[in-house]
Amino acid sequence: MKKFIYIVITLVVFGAVAFTLANNKKEMAETAAVASRTSEAIPVVMTEARTSKIDRSFTVNGNFSPIQSLSMVSETQGQVIRLNKRKGETVRAGEVLAQVEDNVLRANMITAEANFEKTKRDLERFVNLAEGDAITKRQLEEVRLGHHNAQAQLIQARHQLEKSKIKAPISGVINESYIEIGSILGGGVRLFDIVNVDKLKLKAKVSEREVLLIRKGAKATVKADVNAQDTFEGVVTAIGANADQSLRYDIEIEVKNTNENAVKAGMYGTASFEIADTRDALLIEREAIATSLQDPKVFVVKDQRAYLKPVTIGTVANDLVEITSGLAEGEKVVRSGQINLKEGTKVSVL
């Protein structure tokens, strides 16, 4: 009897479990059906075409470089006997930075001067003899050639003596010094790195649309990222003629480094271009373009369904695009959510 009761209880329990599972399955199917019906409409955010002024102002980022940068190498041989300037010091163009021992070079110049004076007197004497037919023309030409050779040797000796004084070719700051008193120099030995930071160049890149908005001589407001409260007036001095692989063009913007050289070469900087344009245009947000700017199309909504519509664009200014045909003022288009849309997709407006 007890065994029979256990069997009955077990069957009842299994029946209850089966009933519960079947009921849950039915509820899950109903929930999935509701979700399916709800997901038929893709949520989107709308915007509308509106007439406004075009603001084509833009900013670019880049690095500051010195207006001049030069690595000096030795043009003479010998031992450094005097060092007038060291790393970090300011120099002027033509200032003597170091002196190389020049006794031999000075002696060579004295010899060259004496030889030059001798050949000069010989030439004068032979010219007088030639006028009296006392010598041949060939003899006169040989003396004249000797005088020219002596003159060339004198010029070379003076040049070598002058090069023993190592002079700054540009004004600026010695960024690095590679020699000391007693250093032995030879031709091509590195001496100093000099940079001129009285003016700086901000080197940046602009897009193919931005490059058409600027010209050499155009003004820009420039500031260093680490010292944004100080602004400088910059002038465009160079525009690249050829784009790189990303279709961007190199530009250089020159600024005067006032305020005790507040900006250092190598710092990051920003240049702002104010592009005046007073005409009205029909504009939409750039993100509303569902395809590319080369083949622009937008999604319009009609009877709660999205349809792709081609448009013609004009100027692209920051995050706005000018529509020259294809839309009317006030016409609504999808601004976000296009990634899930295709022709005729049902939508719900958020």
Residue with tokens 């250089």: 252
**In the predicted model, what is the mean pLDDT of residues 117-129?**
91
Tens-place pLDDT, residues 4-24: 555 545 554 455 545 555 555
As a whole number of angstroms, the distance between CA 290 and CA 304 comes to 18
Share of the chain above pLDDT 90, in %: 59
Most confident of 91-100, 220-229, 315-324: 91-100
CA–CA dist 303, 289 (Å, integer): 21
pLDDT over threshold 80, residue 35: no
pLDDT tens across 273-309, in order? 988 776 788 999 999 999 988 899 999 998 889 999 9
User: Residue 58's pLDDT is what?
Assistant: 87
For the stretch 247-279, pLDDT in tens is 999 999 999 987 666 788 899 999 999 887 767
In this model, does residue 36 exceed pLDDT 50? Answer: no
pLDDT for the residue 257: 83
Rounded to two decimals, the pTM is 0.63
Rg (CA), the chain: 42
Categorize the per-residue pLDDT at 37 as very low, low, confident or very high, splitting at 50, 70 and 90: very low
Extract the tokens encoding 128: 């007088």
Q: Residue 15 has what pLDDT?
A: 53
| Position with higher pLDDT, 203 vs 41 | 203
Collect all residues with Cβ–Cβ distance below 8 Å to 300 and sequence separation of at least 6: 306, 307, 309, 331, 332, 333, 334
Share of the chain above pLDDT 70, in %: 87
